[in-house]
Amino acid sequence: MRVAEKDGAVVRRATAEDASALCALVSDMEGAALDPEAFSRRLAAQLEDGRHACLVCEEGDEVLGMLNLRIEDQLHHARPAAEVMELVVASGRRGEGLGAQLFEAARRLAVERDCEVLEVTSKLHRAEAHRFYERMGMRRTHVRLSMPPDEGGLR
């Protein structure tokens, strides 16, 4: 299902067939190879779960980027909240507006789903990503704290 199209790049909903390309993109973003089988299982589960919307940006048959959106009810919001879980564009295609195209498609989806807020959490070292999100209209409003598994006894 096509969500948007601009300058030959199409944004559509992800399918299970996209798992390999998406795993490669997310692995690049994380700087570590993810387990393709585990990734495929997680993607398949999310595709069945109405709380997630995984969007793919492609040109022809080449996947150039993805945005994974989670929409859920939270007790401290009157309406659903949307959160960008992952947004990545292939390293050789950054700066072409593909991330903005994905973000705008996610924003429209959040509006369609009557979300109160659209949020993102981004690691501290990703200053370029922070600037991107601010250009998209997002503002710094929260502090998020995490307990790394190797430091907090989560393993």
Say which CATH architecture domain 2-152 belongs to: 3-Layer(aba) Sandwich (3.40)
Residue 155 has a pLDDT of 65
For the chain, domain boundaries? 2-152
Paired residues of 86 in beta bridges: 68
Distance of CA 98 to the CA centre of its chain: 13
Which two three-digit tokens encode residue 118? 């659209």
pLDDT in tens, the chain (155 residues): 566 667 789 999 999 999 999 999 999 999 999 999 999 999 999 999 999 999 999 999 999 999 999 999 999 999 999 999 999 999 999 999 999 999 999 999 999 999 999 999 999 999 999 999 999 999 999 988 888 877 766 76
Residue 98 has a pLDDT of 97
Considering only CA atoms, give the Rg of the chain. 16
What is the DSSP secondary structure assignment for residue 18, as one 8-state letter?
A: G
The type of residue at 147 is: M
Give residue for tokens 């393993």.
155
Residue 136 has a pLDDT of 97
Q: In what order do the strands lie in the sheet with 62-72?
A: 2-6, 9-13, 52-59, 62-72, 81-89, 117-120
CA atoms of 132 and 73, how far apart (whole Å): 26
Q: Do residues 63 and 22 lie in contact, with contact meaning Cβ atoms separated by under 8 Å? A: yes
Q: Do residues 23 and 56 lie in contact, with contact meaning Cβ atoms separated by under 8 Å? A: no
- CA distances from residue 63 to 23, 49, 73, 122 in whole angstroms, order as listed: 11, 22, 31, 22
pTM reported for the whole predicted model? 0.91
Which two three-digit tokens encode residue 14? 């992800």
